[in-house]
Structure 1
Amino acid sequence: MDYPQLLFITSPLFFFILPLVYVFQNRLNVKSKYWFMHFVFPILMLILFIPTILMNDNDKLSMYHADGINDPIWLVLLYLLFSIYYSIKTFIANKEHKALLLNTSANNDIELQLFSNKLIFLASVCIIIIPISLLIQYLDFNTKVVDKFLFIIFSLIPHFIVISISNIKTFENSNEIRIEERQTSVVEHENLDTIKSELTGFMMKCKPYLRQDLNLQTLANLVSWNRSKLSMVINKGFGKNFYDYVNEYRLEAVVEKLNSGKHKDYSLDYIVSECGFKSYVSFYRIFKRVKKKSPKDYLRHLKSQ
């Protein structure tokens, strides 16, 4: 080890990474109030580790090369409890963020946001694996394999976080959106079937889904509803999130054009864009999910008829 002064830094850093991931996830959920409180305990742990960090280089190296785990069992158990607590809180916040995204926008910039959401989830999974692996070492004296595994996992976490940060965008008024479980019913005194028919009629007649920049607020303005009512009707009435609801209209518009033979005169990319999809990747995924075949197979089927 050429830099013994860097040894044992990872232990206090572990207690900072967990709250950092959670605070970052809450930042995406527009819930950053009192974020600094999550770093009180990590700072206390850092103070506790100062004597070890300030040890002379020879003592650090001897501890580093010693067989087994240098951390006492109570510290490893503290790692585990701490990681379980923050990982569970991050998983819950992550689920809320995904619902927030899917009920906010149907333009395809949301794909990157969902990708970031998954990366944060993976970071949380990797973090909780670390103390579990440490506990395994207490039961298995062959620590070399586990040590390498821990190193790989720990090195992946910053990459997940950095990539997710680079893909994040803030949706306007996103703090006004609440996931379905937290919505209060704004249609309880109205006939849900009537409201659904009204929305369906508007979608069929005005075709707002052809706009690539369509989001929940825009559609609510167009149909002259508030967006809590629109979100409730889509979630409760149709059993879908806003993203799927709008993209399924776009998909049917594409299928209609393909069935009419428009693909013989225009490229599929052009047709997909004309029907409101901003990216072919989003169209392809929803096409495979709904039609159970690829667009290429569907076109081949049309040609054979």
Structure 2
Amino acid sequence: MNDPAADGDENAHFGNRSDAASRHAGVDAGRRSFCKLLAGSLLIPHVNLSVAADGGMMHRRIPGTQETLPVVGLGTSDEFEVPNEADLDALRMVLHRFHELGGTLVDTAPIYGNAESVIGGLLADLELTDDLFVATKVRTSGREAGLEQMERSQELLGKRPLDLMQVHSLVDWRTQLRNLRQWKEEGRVRYIGVTHSRTSAFEELEKVMRSEPLDFVQFNYSFTEPEAEARLLPLAAERGMAVMVNRPFENGALFRAVRDRQLPEWAADFDCESWAQFSLKYILAHPAVTCVIPATSNPKHVADNMGAGTGRLPDEHTRQRMRELGASL
């Protein structure tokens, strides 16, 4: 079993659950969008369905570049906020194992307690600062406050340039995107984007995606929360934006819901060995998804999560079965 409350949820500190009625709204429209995108994926330069030739971790290209990312990254909300040295030792093992298994993208934020400081220190100790793709966020209002927070993040993470800076939960996004663009022009950050983790924010997020040139967009998506399939995922492919998915386990609700359930036998058809992989492989089967960021502080769970980025992925018929199962939980 994976961490019950760790899934890369960028808004775990604020708590959010969509109700059962809204959770599956638009699923039929999402299925049509997926099929249309899948059918045309070979004609869309921003969509990359390639699998590692050696059977290892799948990689997908960041749209508009030749740079690729492993499809499974590492979230840090809650899990990298540590009060003592014993916890720090466990996280050192997590990062080492993550890198050993082919992971590169680590996503964090200033509001995740001391996570930025912890990550920066561990990356330096493990000599991984230059090897990993480090993403963080800015969540404040006002130009000067935003720049100050970004400066602090860069100092704590010890990475110049930062790989990705994102406007967290769209807070004062117009002002902060101007700051982000300034940093990108100055070479202090390589990519910029926006994030949210609440389905209720999808309408606003869609407006930002349509109006702003972004390198990355991050939002919640899973077989229990498939709403992003209706509009956001097709729009990201159309606009050439990399998609980072948070909340793959819906803040641990997935594991609570399946506590007494056996994994379906047909999960073996797409090389799935756990409920964590069940959700992650559903996400990664969508051609517009670049990567997913489950969070964990357990090295065993890192290995389980990373396993989702290898082997076969479910086809659309199977994904429909997965959605139906999700609706029944």
TM range (shorter): under 0.3
Q: Which has the higher contact order (CA 8 A, sep 6+)?
A: 2
Larger Rg: 1
Higher strand share: 2
Give the TM-score, by structure 2 length: 0.21
Give the TM-score, by structure 1 length: 0.22
Higher helix share: 1
